[in-house]
Amino acid sequence: MVLQSLAGLPAFVIYLAVGSVFIVTYLVVYTAVTAHDEFELIRADTPGAAIALGLSTVGFALPLTSSISHAANVLDCALWAFIGLVVQIAVYYLVRLTIPGLSERIAKGQLAPAIWLGLVSVSAGMLNAASMAL
């Protein structure tokens, strides 16, 4: 009985590793394209940076979990995870169009632009995840 329960362990480890690599990759790419240094701002106790980055990461994790759940194989999962990453980066650029000086305002500690960016990221992630009819 226990062995049957553990039969999926290798797939679990592989998908967990792939998902973890994609989360780290997302954070590296996202923080590279933004005009502010999220981790420095978070270390300096700027709540808006933590809110925006955290919610953006959740926004990416939603389609990532959908790709893991629905993928035919690891390569399929990676392809859809990459698409989810591209969508989230595009969302950042779109939100910048609606909020002039978005990064500067987040760096100054303004919460409203950070919350807006984060919630649009989560909304886009939800839509992205639901659209992944693999």
pLDDT tens over the chain, length 134 residues:
777 888 889 999 999 999 999 999 999 999 999 999 999 999 999 999 999 999 999 999 999 999 999 999 999 999 999 999 999 999 999 999 999 999 999 999 999 999 999 999 999 999 999 998 75
Please give the DSSP secondary-structure letter assigned to residue 1.
Answer: -
Q: Which of 47, 59, 48 is nearest to 23 (CA)?
A: 59
What residues does each domain of the chain span? Answer: 2-131
Please give the DSSP secondary-structure letter assigned to residue 6.
Answer: G
Say which residues have a Cβ less than 8 Å from residue 120's Cβ, sequence separation at least 6. 91, 94, 95
d(CA 115, CA 79): 29
pTM as predicted? 0.92
